Amino acid sequence: MTTLVLVAASGLAGEVAAASEGYDQIVAVDDDRERWGTIVGGVEVIGPIELVSDSGTDLVVCAGSGRIRRRLVGRLLDYGVTPERFATVIHPDASVAHGCEVGRGSILLAGARLTSQVSVGRHVVVMPNAVLTHDDIVGDFATLCAGVALGGEVVVGEAAYLGMNSSVRQRVDVGVDAVLGMGAVLLADLPPGETWAGVPARPVRVPV
């Protein structure tokens, strides 16, 4: 029996379960005791995350935040999980053109489009109907929400978060751990760790 274990019981876990093919069984693990024995997103939560250390099953980390995914992957590696156990999930309705690359542990949901020579790193989440065009590079643990559009030669840094329906002009960089707000239009490089929003996107000022 082939089993896929979804790490973190979440709405994203339900979407990943719906997108996954070829498994006899799909279950979830989560540190929240109240979820053990329940059904989340149509998937049974069988217990804590530590359970994965005793199994040869495939794994996908389903936390919506790239920073949390990065932390969970670190924990799993500490438990002795090998990188080869991380599965890559690509929805049947996603399109990955010849010459594109998708790293281990990454998730491409329905309608995601990779057009030409796109490189997607490890443990990236690409939500429905996001479009990545020629020569884009997406770093490990990044999150591209539904409807994101990247022009050509865009570079998205590790664990960056691009909000729903945001867009990025060609040859623009999004820094490591940066956040682009929902519906924003990014026309200039977004520095690491900063949050920008608006049309055109500008830094978000936090009141003192």
Q: Tell me, what's the pLDDT at 206?
A: 61
Q: Tell me, what's the pLDDT at 54?
A: 62
Q: Is the dihedral of CA 66, 36, 43, 87 positive or negative?
A: positive
Q: Tell me, what's the pLDDT at 2?
A: 87
Q: Tell me, what's the pLDDT at 172?
A: 98
For the chain, which residues score pLDDT lower than 70?
1, 54-55, 206-208
DSSP string, 25-61: EEEEE-S-GGGTTSEETTEEEEE-GGGGGG---EEEE
- Write out the two tokens for 143: 């999150």
User: Distance (Å, rounded) from C-alpha 36 to C-alpha 66?
Assistant: 24
Q: Tell me, what's the pLDDT at 183?
A: 98
Q: Tell me, what's the pLDDT at 122?
A: 98
User: Distance (Å, rounded) from C-alpha 196 to C-alpha 208?
Assistant: 17
- Which has the closest alpha carbon to 136: 116, 122, 161? 116
Q: Tell me, what's the pLDDT at 93?
A: 96
User: pLDDT digit string (tens) for 112-152?
Assistant: 999 999 999 999 999 999 999 999 999 999 999 999 999 99
